[in-house]
Amino acid sequence: MSREQRGPNEKLGAVLALAGISNAGLARRVNDLGAQRGLTLRYDKTSVARWVSKGMVPQGAAPHLIAAAIGQKLGRPVPLHEIGLADADPAPEVGLAFPRDVGQAVKSATELYRLDLAGRRAGSGGIWQSLAGSFAVSAYATPASRWLITPADSSVAREANPVEGSGAPIKVGHSDVQKLREAAEDARRWDSKYGGGDWRSSMVPECLRVEAAPLLLGSYSDEVGRALFGASAELTRLAGWMAFDTGQQEAAQRYYIQALRLARAAADVPLGGYVLASMSLQATYRGFGDEGVDLAQAALERNRGLATARTMSFFRLVEARAHARAGDAQAAGGALRAAESWLERARPGDSDPSWLGFYSYDRFAADAAECYRDLKAPRQVRRFTEQALSKPTEEFVRSHGLRLVVSAVAELESGNLDAACEAGVRAVEVAGRISSARTTEYVRDLLHRLEPYGDEPRVVELRERARPLLMAPA
């Protein structure tokens, strides 16, 4: 359905010309983006002609998908007003702002929490079907630069005013903050064991809405407020990580930006660095290696002399991942050596943050293997993967599955088809026990690499074993 504006939409026509997108090309892109969000759209070149020449405004998610499609071609976010669709059904750029003011930061975060739940109640795909845009790495530029300039707010004490009809605002204490930290710890454990799509993990957005938001809008001293912002930042980053693991890149990006802003309010520079590292991993995974390097190096620069050795090791490891994806073998090797050196300096008595509990030499070896996979060095992949798989654990099931796929790729590139299929079968078995779109995507990539050997019995068997996994709904 569409409604009519007055006169042609000259703004949309001009931006389409700038982006070099034809009417048919835009229709195809919008339909494809809609399909990715579970929507069945059937726009064609005539539909686009009506949008431009007659000023017709498509309803629902379409205006935001148009902005996303054009933004992907231009390589930057495209706001609705730039394409003459500001009067479309409202779907704010929720979660993308990085306010300078603490009060506005609370508003930005709590708006995101509320809209996520509204989307879940709306049904298939949730609010992320109608929010503007898809993942745009350029959206991280302002948050990263503002955090680098000021990684800690001067004061966060808050005296909330009573809201008519809702009673007195909450007076937040340390016990309230502790509940959020315990929720974050539980969520980390479930996520590692069952994947970001597991129902226990997916309760994090609900916790943010029901538990964290009222506290952030309450009254608290500067000391309690710092702790509250830190706990909320941890939970928000976790929500982003789980969205990332389930393929909801738009949601992940918004959660990460708000987590970074909350970490600044917490005056927790290592936690801010951890959020930047998460942003870096997402950018790298999406193919933006250079931007991933920038985000990882931002985390490193601000944490020199502040973060523990183990934390600095992880940041250098994330930097190595980005260098490898960008194809810079020398820089990747240097970052890996630095990461290993920092890890060797770590001691059991160090005051490592609780959110770093997953990081050990096994994790270092696993990521080093992925670096060398991207650099097409199978011998190094095999060496580090063997170390990463030497201590399989039920605590980090998803990581174990990912390592098996990387091992299979290394065996294949070394000419060991049987070993590759054997590792692949084990990876499929693990992937079937968890809910992780990322793990499924790794398996899909392995099968793609095996296509030249499609008639081999072991490959046929692996493909059949993977079929239920690949056909399962996202």
pLDDT tens-digit series, residues 63-118 = 878 988 898 888 887 888 889 887 655 444 788 899 999 999 999 999 999 875 44
pLDDT band at 452 (very low <50, low <70, confident <90, very high): very high
| Whole-number average pLDDT of the chain | 87
Work out whether the CA dihedral 187, 148, 142, 107 comes out positive or negative: positive
The CATH code of the domain at 360-474 is 1.25.40
User: Is pLDDT of 257 > 60?
Assistant: yes
DSSP letters of 129-186? GTSS----GGGGHHHHHHHHH-SS-S---B-PPPPTTS-SPPB--HHHHHHHHHHHHH
Which range is least confidently modeled, 123-132, 190-199, 411-420?
Answer: 123-132
Q: Report, at the CATH architecture level, how domain 2-83 is classified.
A: Orthogonal Bundle (1.10)
Tens digits of residue pLDDT in 380-417: 999 999 888 887 666 788 888 899 999 999 899 889 99
In this predicted structure, what is the pLDDT of residue 37?
Answer: 56
In this predicted structure, what is the pLDDT of residue 198?
Answer: 57
Report, in this order, helix, strand and coil percent for the chain, each rounded to 5. Answer: 70, 0, 30
Tens digits of residue pLDDT in 300-328: 999 999 999 999 999 999 999 999 999 99
Q: Do 360-474 and 2-83 fall under one CATH topology?
A: no
Tens digits of residue pLDDT in 336-382: 999 999 999 999 889 999 999 999 999 999 999 999 999 999 999 99
In this predicted structure, what is the pLDDT of residue 472?
Answer: 67
Q: What percent of the chain has pLDDT over 90?
A: 63
Give the domain ranges of the chain. Answer: 2-83, 99-160+169-267, 360-474
pLDDT band at 164 (very low <50, low <70, confident <90, very high): very low
